[in-house]
Every structure is written in C-alpha cells, then in structure tokens.
Structure 1
C-alpha cells in the first residue's frame, strides 16, 4: 500500500514502523517542541502532496498535533487507540509499537479536521450521553473516539473534536447507542 501524502510522525522508530506497514515518506518532529524548520517542511509537504499527522495517543502526541494544526491547516489526521499503540510488554505507548495492520487501518481512516462554527451536538448532549461530568465518562470518551475514529480527547476538548471532524448528530447518537449497548452487556 502506497501513501501519497507525507506522514508526520514523532521520531525515527515511528518512521521504521510506518515503513513496515506501507510505502510512504515521513517528516519527523523529533519531540513535542516542533521547530520552525519542521513546520516549514510540513507547510511545503501540505502544499505539494498533502499531510497526514500520525502522532502517539498521549499528551505529547496531542501537543504536537495541535502545534502543527495551528500553523498548517487542512492536514489529515490518523489516530491509534492506546491499546493498539502498546507493546506486548505493556511498557510505553506509541506508533512505533503498533502492528502493520493497525497502522494501515489508521492511515486508511485518516480524516480532515476543519474549523466549524456550529455543532449539531451540544454540551447537553455530551452530558446526557455520560461523556462529561460523571463516573465512567473517560472510558465512554475512549470508546467514542475509537468508534468515530477521532482519537481520545478529554471532556473539555470533546465538543471541539466532534466539530472539527464534522461528526453528524445521527452518527454521534448511533455511536452512543452502541456504547450503551456494550455497557449493558458487560
């Protein structure tokens, strides 16, 4: 599988993992303090071939994602669940630990995030769905992120992430129903 866009990853080990899964070019940020020269490379890549941001599902990975998005809009975003980003020994988390199949699936599901001024999904909807302000909210947000392929986010950022991916209300409701069904079956 060959990827046209250039994939932005955190480091060399991520590049190695990407190359085990697909044929693609990468840009490495070399940590969460993304330099201006790396931003310039990403801008050029976006203008010529397009970019997929594929960072680790942790705080530094999200920080990198936000830094790049603020300066280079219209990049696609690929996400891995924490489970798929853990090594067999359970120590650490990152793209470099994911299986080639998991990497291919995440890249295939890459989404474009756009600024959206109005969301069909209100804060009240999030509260009623048990995604914010209650016990089990974190776990439900993790499940929602997996189902919608938008990655995990905290309660404060969930509404913004749903807007950026332009998740339709009916898709959101269907995902919440699936999560509630799974909880009833546990």
Structure 2
C-alpha cells in the first residue's frame, strides 16, 4: 500500500528522495547536504506556507545541523526521525539506507514543532530526575527515550528543547520513562 503524503518532505540528497519514493508517494526538496542555498530555503518556506513541510534528515550530526537550519526557515513544520540503527548500512548512516517499512513508520510518527511562545510541560529538573542529563549513563538513556518519544537522539540541551518544542506532555514522558526502566529490568 503506497501512502500519499500531502506535505513536501525535505531531505538531504537524491538518494534520500529515491528511498522516500520507494516507500510513499511524496514530493521532496533536496538540500544538497549542509550547504543549503538561499534559493532552497526560500522554496522550503514557500512549501511550508502552501502545503506544509516534513523535515526528514539523516540521524547524524550533519543531518541535525540541516534540521535546525530548515526548521528556522519553516516555523511550525513537522519532523520525522529515524534511529541510527534503522538508517545504517556498512557504517554509512542515511535515510537512503532505511527500509521502506522504517521510512513509513517514521512518517507515521511525525512530531510538529510548536510555534514560538508555545512550550511543553517538561522541565530541566524532569530530565535530571530521569537521568537524562548530569548522569553517568545520560547519553544512552537519551538515546532510548528519544526513540520512545519519537524525537530522535540529541545532547541534553537539544533533548530538552525538543521536549518543549514538540510539546511532550508529562504523561508521555512518564510513560516512556517507565517503559525504558521496565525494559532495563527485563534485560
């Protein structure tokens, strides 16, 4: 079953576009990597106004940098995240390496970025108490929580920003934390 996506999906390159088109019916805009030109950013802003935009970049440092740049030019856009292990092939990390099922799943679990002034319920203290910052195992715990919450991996400061900008509720946060701790006890 091919799913039609009305929003335009922003990806890094032509191989990502090919992978998206194998998984769903959608239009894409390619950033051509991290050297995003002003004309591409204008097209993304226009696409966001007219049809909406989904940012779907690689789950690596360069992809996160591109995500931030695009999100600044497309306020209120949607985000799709893939965990690194679902986007890896022989040491290469990228959307183009993901299976069609992984791409469809990521596109079915979109997160919408809140507009300026709106924020979530999660506090910095919540992250500290959950061991997601200032903890010897914080990076691994953020990786797991990022998957469970559908917001991807990020450092502590960026993880907090994602929790607030994607308006993660206390309930979602507590449920994900409980699931992470139950899995840890079971292993």
TM-score w.r.t. length of structure 2 = 0.94
Matched, 1:42 2:53: no
1:20-73 deviations in Å (ceiling 9; x for gaps): 101111100001121100001101111211110100011110101100111221
State the distance in 2 between where 1:121 and 1:111 align: 16
SS at match of 1:33: coil
State the distance in 1 between where 2:35 and 2:85 align: 25
- Which protein has the bigger strand share? 2
- Stretches of structure 1 lacking an aligned partner (at least 5 in a row): none
After TM superposition, give the deviation of residue 91 of structure 1 in Å: 1.4
- Match for residue 74 of structure 2? 72
TM-score w.r.t. length of structure 1 = 0.95
After TM superposition, give the deviation of residue 101 of structure 1 in Å: 0.5
Is contact 2:118-2:165 (8 Å) kept? no
After TM superposition, give the deviation of residue 118 of structure 1 in Å: 4.8
- Stretches of structure 2 lacking an aligned partner (at least 5 in a row): none
- Match for residue 55 of structure 1? 57
1:76-101 deviations in Å (ceiling 9; x for gaps): 100000110112xx311010000000
Compared CA separation, residues 118 and 27, structure 1 to 2 (3 A): closer
State the distance in 2 between where 1:93 and 1:28 align: 17
Is contact 1:116-1:164 (8 Å) kept? no
Question: How many residue pairs get matched?
Answer: 184
